[in-house]
Structure 1
Amino acid sequence: MSENKTSLRIGIVAGEASGDILGAGLVAALQERFDEVIVEGIAGPRMLALGAKSLFPMERLSVMGLVEPLKRLPELLGIRKRLRQHFLANPPDVFVGIDSPDFNLGLEESLKAAGIPTVHYVSPSVWAWRKGRIKKIARAVDHMLTLLPFEADFYQEHGVPVSFVGHPLADDLPLAPDVEGAREELGFDVEDRIVALLPGSRGGEVRYLGPLFLQAARWCHQRQPDLKFVLPAANDARLSEIQALLKDFPELPLTLLDGRSHEALTACDAVLIASGTATLETLLLKKPMVVSYKMGAMSYAIFSRLLQTPWVSLPNLLARRELVPEILQDAATPESLGAELLKFFQDPLLRDQLQREFNDIHQQLRRNASARAADAVCALIKPKQ
């Protein structure tokens, strides 16, 4: 990059709120390096607040599951075609696709072929399944930015330029969480022994894991009556579903929250949690956890055959060994989950050792991610003639 360069035109496409958060961090870091940063593509409220121009509403890309994307496929393909035409007619200095790989990689491949430098921010789970996608990624991406270190190792092995930038959540969360403050906010006493239950944010997850987690909580409470429980519902729909489930557990000392998962995780002593991204926040808050997941028998048969890693949870993937128990599908019973949870209260040394290892991983992920991502983006920018 030329030292005299004072303006930057960047194309960005983020398909959901988490991508908007990453994009805003990147844009803010770039604004510190340039007098003017022109951002256009698809952005959410955080990037819009920094001056980005969104050519389409970000919500149009925020589709989940298998059926909904297929129903919306013509619209999504139309949006991608118009973005491609726009960027080819008005080439940015660099294009950054943030997550949303099914949408962004095809766009990046076209732009890279036209000589526009391309960056993909957040690795697809190519290291876990569908490894053949690495060929398309190599064609589409000049540089991959990964949030996790083992992801960067995979790309290096396959000859794809990559930077491990760290995780913004590790930058944002303190190394020592304010447990007393969180307990006071939620109405718990300092000496309370608290288990947080996080059965997931999707309807299917609560359907499979909600009753199971509550049964495991009952099993634990019968054996350790001083335990208290807290369950943060991810949204209004989950709140209603969990309220209906709780009618079968009148004896359970449980505080149901509307959102506020961060406070619940900070306040608790241990966590029973669905496998997913929330396990990373749980790790960064230094909370011992038992990870579980259940799905339909057919879906699990397909998933288990496709999976190419020994573990499913981020703590174990980051540690590259079984740091926390994973109890999946038919093995997940109230007794098996409850027995693992109670170990954290019966063995303080186990809890202390886990917290030390979580702290080490937190330090590893705390790398000023947005600034590192901006460095990698700047390195791709070609000097203007």
Structure 2
Amino acid sequence: MKYYIIAGEASGDLHGSNLMKALYRKDIDAEIRFWGGDLMQKVGGTLVKHYRELAFMGFIEVLFNLKTILGNIKICKRDIAESQPDVIIFIDYPGFNMRIAKWAKEKGIPTHYYISPQIWAWKENRINDIKRDVDKMYVILPFEKAFYEEKHNFPVQFVGHPLIDAIQSQPVLDSSLFKIENQLDDKPIIALLPGSRKQEITKMLGVMLSVVEEFPDYQFVIAGAPSQEFSFYESFITNGNIKFISNKTYDLLKIATAALVTSGTATLETALFKVPEVVCYKGSWASYQIAKRIITLKYISLVNLIMDEEVVTELIQHDFNTKNLKKELHKILEPNHRAQLLQKYDLLEKKLGGTGASEQTAKLIVAALN
């Protein structure tokens, strides 16, 4: 079978790579073309376009880059038409993927969606497009099945969360060797995860680093995104207590004492590694004003959304400042608070279900095609 997979950001690249591995196991004749990143490229198949050319965040930023986005949609349609896949598998990234899904449905190409658009957060009217254009939907959050089936009468498959697989498949880390190789000292580590896009890193990292002098007994380590060069981060590194490690976020989280994390999939990853965290987010003024009027959720982090309570503190927009960040970081370093937080993390992991999300999804896709 010929599979065409579209992932438009770092988290999609991770989940897409694991899905590809499972597809190759289930279908020995699988041919895969994809839009994704380095992780998917390592698995095999043919990379059409890297996600670093696709990722734009915020309403205003998307408008400024609309010509590029529309050009990429045109390229994608042309490549699909030429390669004639048996199925297209969309991974999140709805602004792009739903446009391709509409076109693909009209062309009679089977459309499968792995990792649902977060229409329960905003743009709930997208359910009409999903019902029209998506043949199969595989969801990874426990509340999504009820949302789709009970509220919108659209059948979906809950396959569990692929991060469980990704994290449990990690090799054992020699922490002493890791520190030596990456020039880290013996101070406890506070990991900084400022995101993967240049726009968000620029907004987040300066504020995160503004608390460094308040915590001289810790070393702050920036988790560099695989899509960005060290030269981009260099201007942020102003003293010897700030270290930088590129493309080794999971290894960093294995040995971190605490973390400051930009809202997104990384908040859930950090919790599953059992690292106390503060969730941070700041967008452009215009994007924030639009977002707060159309998003009605109580929380922005996946940890809090899944648990339906404030497990981790969220510092959003104006609340994301040096004063609040110092206060919340002191809190998660306090032993009693840490212990309570780690208990909540254990409950979170149970809610997400067991292992096998990628295997289950690949099995269902292959079975549907056969």
TM-score band by shorter chain is 0.7 to 0.9
Equivalent of 1:291 in 276, 279, 285: 279
Q: TM-score, normalised by structure 2?
A: 0.83
The one-letter code matched in structure 1 to 2:206 is P
| Amino acid across the alignment from 2:127 | I
Which residue of 1 is the match for residue 339 of structure 2? 352
Name the residue aligned to 1:70. 66
1:171 to 2:162 alignment: no
Alignment of 1:130-279 (within 5 A): 130-156=123-149, 157-174=151-168, 180-181=175-176, 182-183=178-179, 186=182, 192-219=187-214, 221=215, 225-234=216-225, 239-240=230-231, 242-247=233-238, 250=239, 253-279=241-267
Q: Does 1:59 align with 2:50?
A: yes
Q: State whether residues 26 and 366 of structure 2, in contact with CA within 8 Å, keep that contact through their aligned partners in structure 1.
A: no
CA deviation after TM superposition for structure 1 residue 84, in Å:
5.7
Q: Distance in 2 between matches of 1:165 and 1:133?
A: 22
Matched, 1:328 2:305: no
Q: Distance in 2 between matches of 1:159 and 1:274?
A: 34
Residues 256, 275 of structure 2: 8 Å contact kept: yes
The answer to whether the 8 A contact 2:189-2:258 is kept is yes
Aligned Cα root-mean-square deviation (Å): 3.3
Kept in 2, the 8 Å contact 1:236–1:258? The answer is: no
Q: Secondary structure at the match of 1:124?
A: coil
The alpha-carbon distance between structure 1 residues 13 and 209, as it changes in their structure 2 partners (threshold 3 A), is closer
Matching residue's letter, 1:32: R
**Distance in 2, Cα, partners of 1:51 & 1:256:** 29
Q: Decide whether the 8 Å contact of 2:26 with 2:363 is kept in 1.
A: no
1:205 to partner: Cα distance:
2.7
Closer/same/farther in 2, CA of residues 60 and 82 from structure 1, 3 Å limit? farther
8 Å CA contact retained: 2:196, 2:227: no
What's the % identity of the aligned pairs?
A: 34
Shift of 1:308: 2.0
| Distance (Å, rounded) in 1 between the aligned partners of 2:134 and 2:227 | 39
The Cα shift of 1:9 comes to 4.1
- The residue identity in structure 2 corresponding to 1:367 is T
Provide the TM-score with structure 1 as the length reference.
Answer: 0.80
| Aligned equivalent of 2:368 | 380
Query: Is 2:293 the counterpart of 1:302?
Result: no
> Residue 342 of structure 1 corresponds to which residue in structure 2?
330
- Residues 179, 135 of structure 1: alpha-carbon distance in 2 compared, 3 angstrom cutoff: farther
Secondary structure of residue in 1 paired with 2:327: helix
Note the residue ranges of structure 2 that are not aligned, 5 or more in a row.
57-61
Shift of 1:131: 1.2
Deviations 1:111-151 (A, max 9, x none): 44555432111211211111111111111111111232233
Which is greater in Rg? 1
Change (3 A) 1:272 1:47: closer
Shift of 1:73: 4.6
Distance in structure 2 (CA, Å) of the matches to 1:82 and 1:189: 51
Structure 1 portions without partners, runs of 5+? 1-7
Give the total of aligned pairs. 361
Deviation at 1:72, TM superposition (A): 2.2
Alignment check: 8 A CA contact 1:10 1:40 kept: yes
Q: CA deviation at 1:365?
A: 4.6
